[in-house]
Amino acid sequence: MTRNAKGSAYDTDAQADAVLVVDAAGVAVGDNVARTYSAPTNAAVATTSTAVAAANASRKGLVVVNDSDTVVYLAVNTAALLNKGIRLNAQGGAVQFGGPGGLPLTTEAVNGIHGGTGTRTVTVQEVT
């Protein structure tokens, strides 16, 4: 085990293809596995529950950003409801599923709703 200047520890194995990096407490900080980013997309969220991201068993991460002027609410694996679930504030409110600092990863569908009129746009980036 070797430590870098910031105290993170790492270990390599001549037979291994990857390096596991852990912090000073021994918690993994990256898995060094190649990931594929989907083409950035968006979803038009309506005033009724709308699909934002379909279920994906291969998903390793998901980021949803509210690109509209209206609060959007998200729900995982169920219909989205106004004033319940995950709130994305207007003009940049965001959520990350998976990864450091994010909510736990979900491979289930994510749905959205808003309380305005018409549709509102959220941007979506998925990692597999």
pLDDT tens for residues 46-65?
Answer: 999 999 999 999 999 999 99
Q: What percent of the chain clears pLDDT 70, i.e. is strictly above it?
A: 73
pLDDT recorded at residue 105 = 95
In the Cβ-directed half-sphere of 10, how many Cα atoms lie within 13 Å? Answer: 14
CB 52 within 8 A of CB 112: yes
pLDDT recorded at residue 13 = 44
What total number of domains does the chain contain?
A: 2
Q: How far apart are CA 1 and CA 5, in angstroms?
A: 14
- Whether residues 88 and 108 share a domain: the answer is yes
> Which residue range is the domain that position 10 belongs to?
1-33
Which tens digits make up the pLDDT trace of 77-123?
Answer: 999 999 999 999 999 999 999 988 899 999 999 999 999 999 999 99
- Whether residues 60 and 106 share a domain: the answer is yes
Q: How far apart are CA 91 and CA 88, in angstroms?
A: 9
- Whether residues 1 and 29 share a domain: the answer is yes
**Amino acid in the structure at residue 107:** T
**What tokens appear for 14 in the block?**
């001549």
Confirm whether pTM is higher than 0.85.
no
Backbone angles phi, psi at 126, to 5 degrees: -115, 145
